[in-house]
Structure 1
Amino acid sequence: MDESYDCKICGKDFTKPNVLKYHMLKHTDEKPYTCEVCEKGFIWTSNLKMHMRTHTGEKPYSCTICGKDFTSTSDLNKHMRTHTGEKPYACEICGKDFAIHGSLKSHIQTHTGEKPYTCQICGKGFALTSYLKKHGRTHTGDKPYACEICGKNFAWTCDLKKHIQTHTGKKPHACEICGKGFARRQHLKSHLLTHTGEKPYSCKICRKNFAWASCWKNHMRTHTGEKICACKICGKSFVCMGDLKRHMRTHTGEKPHACKLCGKDFARKSRLKCHMQTHTGEKPHACEICGKEFARLQYLKRHIQSHTGRKPYLCKICGKGFTSTSDLKKHMRTHTGERPYTCKICEKAFAWPNTLKCHMRTHTGERPHTCEICEKAFAWPKNLKRHMKTHTGEIRGKDF
């Protein structure tokens, strides 16, 4: 019978004394082999040898299928599983299979909830030291991974890989239903929900369902009042980065969404979508009471209140009620005297945009309102209305 050598700390058995000797280094944290370049320590010379290749760039092991190179045989073996689909490590709790032992180890902690590695700055816990190390960059601002094409820096290699695809235009993940391509597998996974209609993320407060975790997360902030993204120019805070990005256009004047029919630009895609209905004449929102149709849902909602007589938005100064916040906002200018719309030619200011639009005709000479009887043109509809009375006999032409 072979002699057994036991570790007195953890009880693990070994058949050779030198293997036990190296094993003991795990408990003492002793790392006798040091890299001369970066001074990182290692327990085994083989690990130091592999580490040196990160400095030299040497990758002696190549994949016979795709030609990708690796620094060690273990890395090559792991990679080969991406071709074979082999997943030799199974979770004993739920049966899920994994290609890499480290992935199984991380997965086990989703069952136990164990997060043994804690950030010393914010106290957040992590399942793996690699996750803690990556998290540390959110505090230090360290971005060690640079794009070789444009020089942009990233905190994580995964973000750099995603960014590289903006240069190559590569979209390797295609939807089998509609054929649309995606740069990332998770984007394809999210896209598939548009076909299935599945909304797996549910708000426990209002029961609203969401297709994507990011949308659910942003929605939850509407309940908590949390606004994590602040504008550096005006200090206004927002629930998510997307809202902040759209807000920044009010400062920069950027309007990236252009109408292909008339060339008009818009700051938001939703505004462009609504604008397109002015070309198509589409009015998908119908009033159930009178049948009147509207291009936008907000117009329908406002119209509904003309039936109910409800005016929930009250002026705090005079008590007058309005059907929408935008109407209340416009009304407030009668009290404040605010005139935010200025003529670029004569600098005359106006309280409402339509008044400015009419004023511009005094400069351009435009007369868009034409009499159908005598074809006389007018700048303003009220003048056309008054002119029509000269045809009906309500007033005489010379009085007009």
Structure 2
Amino acid sequence: MMGRNKEKRYECDVCGKAWECPSRLEAHRRVHTGERPFDCSECGKSFKTAMVLKTHQQLHTGEKPYVCTTCGKSFAMSSGLQMHQRVHSSERPFTCSDCGKGFKTSTHLKVHRRLHTGERPYTCSDCGKGFTQSNILLVHQRTHTGERPYSCVQCGKGFTRSTELLYHQRVHSVDHHFPRPFGCSDCGKDFKRAENLKIHQRVHTGERLYGCSTCGKSFAWLSGLREHRRVHSSERPFTCSNCGKGFKSSPQLKVHRRVHTGERPYTCSNCGKGFTQSNNLLVHQRTHTGERPYTCAQCGKGFTCSNNLLSHQRVHAGDRPFPSPVCGEHFAMASQALSHQPVHTSGQPYNCPCCGEAFDSSRSLRQHRRTHAAEQLLPLFQESTGAVGAPADTQTMME
């Protein structure tokens, strides 16, 4: 018992941390100095302590003295075996104090807590982008250097990550016709990778692990939280090379660039109309099917998309959250506030090409142009019916 309670007499003059013996203090000081006096004779890599060097050398010798008694898998370090053994159990002894999620190692917990704190201690020296883990930074830096250290032995194609190589190798395998081996037991959807299946299953469980520390909103995906955080800031790191406009995510930039290229990759099979986004195509297809899946609970009116329902519900609530920046008048929809602005800047900017009359909104112009259409159709109507003069119901003639 006495040996476990030795006095920590040797204190670091930089950070104040104390140790039981001078050799440990000496090893600790290398954290501050960056000194790595122990070199590997095989690859030249340097280490701060002889013990870490000895463990590293097992990578070259292939020695893995620590064996799992359950599955037989072996490890170079006892800590690796200890961490692995939790795979065979449900033990997750390290719990996050913010969200209660459990982890198998303290390292995993430490990395996870950065989601709550927003800490990104690993910064790219080329572009300044921050990362929660050093290995993610390492992979990112390859986008600047062009390095692709993982090469396919069959076709020579290079990859920045080993997982990408592993996935690619299925192309060459005999069962490449079945590249989605991970199936969801709830809906039957198949996935190419186990981690993708795990993330997908949150759709069924409703699990939202990633919470925003600013507003409390939670997300099923880490990428969703990262993108959401930009709502609270003016950060728009993805810039269009054509017009300089900034975006909060790379998918938004990708969609925007189709404005410049004219690309419309999503085509309606009914009428051939093209769209820049798949969700716009989905909403459009409802004009052919008549489907209106979003219904107002107060009046029963149906809508093709949720945004239209949301705008409609403001009619019942009397909610007008979109103000005009010029006069302060409020509108139920942002598009109404936007179309209202020309009233202040140019009076009546919508001109009729037939008679030149001006209007303050495109809607008023459209209604006006129907009068010209009726005038053009009047002679044909009289000829077909034998009637003299204008019909009482112009709308009936239009139909």
Equivalent of 1:53 in 26, 50, 66: 26
Name the structure 1 match of 2:167.
Answer: 193
Relative CO higher for 1 or 2, CA cutoff 8 Å, sep ≥ 6? Answer: 2
The normalised TM-score by structure 2 is 0.64
Q: Do the aligned partners of residues 369 and 277 (structure 1) sit closer, same or farther apart at CA in structure 2, a change above 3 Å counting?
A: farther
Q: Deviations over 1:217-256 (max 9, x none)?
A: 4333322223333334443332233323323333334433
Aligned equivalents of 1:281, 1:341: Cα separation in 2: 31
Q: Deviations over 1:112-164 (max 9, x none)?
A: 549697879989685xxxx358758979x99xx977999xxxxxxx9357558
CA–CA distance in structure 2, aligned partners of residues 246 and 111 of structure 1: 32
Percent identity between the two aligned chains? 26
Aligned with residue 39 of structure 2, among 36, 50, 62: 62
Q: CA RMSD in A?
A: 5.0
Other-structure match for 1:291: 272
Q: How many residues align?
A: 346
Q: Find the aligned partners of 1:51 and 1:374 in 2 and give their Cα distance.
A: 92
Look up the match of 1:17.
none
CA gap of 1:350–1:313, structure 2 versus 1, over 3 A, is same
Q: Which letter does structure 2 place at the counterpart of 1:345? A: V
TM (normalized to structure 1)? 0.64
Shift of 1:297: 1.7
Match of 2:397 in 1: none
Q: 1:275 to 1:332 in 2, by over 3 A?
A: same
Kindly indicate whether residue 53 of structure 2 is the aligned counterpart of residue 76 of structure 1.
yes
Looking at structure 2, the residues matched to 56 and 36 of structure 1 have their Cα atoms a distance apart, in angstroms, of 15
The answer as to 2:78 corresponding to 1:102 is yes
1:322-368 deviation digits (Å, cap 9, x = unpaired): 12211111211222232233222232322233333332223343947
Q: 2:390 maps to what in 1?
A: none
1:1-400 equivalences in 2 (<5 Å): 30-31=3-4, 36-37=9-10, 50-57=23-30, 60-82=37-59, 84=60, 86-89=62-65, 91=67, 96=73, 98=75, 100-102=76-78, 105-106=81-82, 109=85, 113=89, 126=104, 131-132=105-106, 135=109, 159=133, 174-176=149-151, 182=160, 187-190=161-164, 193=167, 196=170, 198-199=179-180, 201-211=182-192, 215-365=196-346, 367=349, 371=353, 380=362, 382-383=364-365, 386=368, 394=376
Deviation per residue, 1:15-62 (Å, 9 max, x gap): xxxxxxxxxxxxx79458765326656xxxxxx575343234375432
TM-superposed deviation, 1:315: 0.8
Secondary structure at 2:252's aligned position in 1? helix
The aligned counterpart of 1:20 is none
CA deviation vs aligned residue, 1:98-122 (integer Å, no higher than 9, x gap):
4x24266337626754969787998
Between the aligned partners of 1:231 and 1:375, the Cα distance in structure 2 is: 54
How many angstroms does 1:320 deviate by? Answer: 0.8
Residue 316 of structure 1: CA displacement?
A: 1.3
Distance 1:284 1:360, change over 3 A: same
Distance of 1:174 and 1:71 partners within structure 2: 26
- The 1:220/1:108 distance shift into structure 2, 3 A limit, reads closer
- Runs of 5+ consecutive residues of structure 2 not aligned to the other structure: 11-16, 126-131, 172-178, 378-399
